[in-house]
Structure 1
Amino acid sequence: MMNYYTVKRLFDIILSLILLICLSPIFLIIAFIIRVQDGGPSIFRQERIGKKGVVFRFYKFRSMPLSTPNVESKDTKKLQITPFGKFIRRTNLDELPQFYNVLKGDMSFIGPRPPIPSQTELIKLRHINGALQLSPGLTGWAQVNSFDGMSATEKAKFDGDYASKISFGFEVLILFKTILYFTRKPPTY
């Protein structure tokens, strides 16, 4: 009999492949608009910390001007964002390329969000509570419990809770809360 992690990985592969194929027209449209807007590449790449502390390349649609340095900034309010970049960030469309990270096995649909290498306190706390042993996710327990503005200690607490309670039922709850978040999120155009 397969263990839960094997089933979870199979689910990640199948769903990410289906989504990548079905959403490919949207990917092309977004990439085209970004390219037309300032002529640069449409995909932003950044190093993130994954399962067991392994560094991997993380993908997003680029929402900042081409001239923006690839900095690790926690204060996104100080960063310049293109007009279309504001739209894709508000709608979370900038996150779509992470389906490729899921397909590759760098990430899962559900798990702690992958930190940038400079978030050393969060990484250390996740190592202590066992969350660093898991694949990072597109959404997670901390995200559905008001991730933005949380301290590293608060994030790590939710991530540790997730690591200790991981199960099919718990992940369905996180998925349901994620869907509720997106359906209740007020548009800010």
Structure 2
Amino acid sequence: MFRTLDLLASTLGLLLLSPLLLIILIAGFFDTGSPIFIQVRVGKNKEPFKLVKFRTMKLETKSVASHLTDSTSITKLGTILRKTKIDELPQLINVAKGEMSLVGPRPNLFNQETLIKARDSLGVYDVLPGITGLAQIKNIDMSTPDLLAKTDQEMIQHFTLKMYFKYIVMTIAGGGSGDAVK
């Protein structure tokens, strides 16, 4: 059921938001020259997949978790995209492809070994990663791996259709502050 909802929502979202996505794509060319950011992340069953986002940081920024990145790396356009969470919209492509869900644990990098260990021990990798979830609503980021893993597990254990829609609505309404940087 969730896969059907994800497929319908991502396809509809990509179609309806295509004018906005095109505008941001063009603005991104002027901002960094490379508006799309693709990064290998840990997916379901710890399988790698290529996460797609709008670029919010300078091209030379090191590929690490956001909380380990200096705020001077974020571009002017990137600041707006992060605050509005619009930088996440290209992940609808990942959702349409079945690599992600709209709701689930945020996918981490393979170099976040402490988080991988914590999540693995709690079965978090048994589900698709998501664009948003309980940890995002509660502003828990990857800088606190044990708390994040426990929050992800809590979400997975109590996940219902009602919670699926609740997390989406809360995210659209401004729940969570986006990726934190130093």
* TM more than 0.5: yes
Percent identity (aligned): 35
Is the 2:134–2:151 Cα contact (8 Å) retained in structure 1? yes
Deviations 1:81-100 (A, max 9, x none): 22111111111111110000
Q: What is aligned with 1:72?
A: 64
Q: CA deviation at 1:181?
A: 3.1
- What are the equivalent positions in structure 2 for 1:146-185 lying under 5 Å apart? 146-148=139-141, 151-182=144-175
CA distance in 2, matches of 1:109, 1:146: 17
- Structure 2 unpaired stretches of 5+: 178-182
Q: CA deviation at 1:51?
A: 0.4
Q: What is aligned with 1:62?
A: 55
CA distance in 1, matches of 2:142, 2:61: 24
Indicate which of 5, 12, 15 corresponds to 2:6.
12
Indicate which of 17, 24, 28 corresponds to 2:22.
28
Q: What is aligned with 1:4?
A: none
Name the stretch that deviates more: 15-24 or 170-179: 170-179
Name the stretch that deviates more: 172-181 or 122-131: 172-181
Is the 2:135–2:141 Cα contact (8 Å) retained in structure 1? no
Give, as a single letter, the amino acid of the residue that structure 1 aligns with 2:22: L
Q: Secondary structure at the match of 2:34?
A: coil
- TM-score, normalised on structure 2? 0.88
* Regions of 4+ moved over 6 Å: none
User: RMSD over aligned Cα, in angstroms?
Assistant: 1.9
Give, as a single letter, the amino acid of the residue that structure 1 aligns with 2:35: S
Indicate which of 29, 35, 46 corresponds to 1:42.
35
CA distance in 2, matches of 1:107, 1:150: 22
Indicate which of 67, 91, 107 corresponds to 1:98.
91
Deviations 1:63-96 (A, max 9, x none): 1223x14421432335512211111111111111
CA distance in 1, matches of 2:160, 2:171: 16
Q: CA deviation at 1:18?
A: 0.5
- TM-score, normalised on structure 1? 0.85
Q: What is aligned with 1:53?
A: 46
Q: Secondary structure at the match of 2:134?
A: coil
Q: What is aligned with 1:87?
A: 80
Q: What is aligned with 1:109?
A: 102
Name the stretch that deviates more: 166-175 or 20-29: 166-175
Q: Secondary structure at the match of 2:57?
A: coil
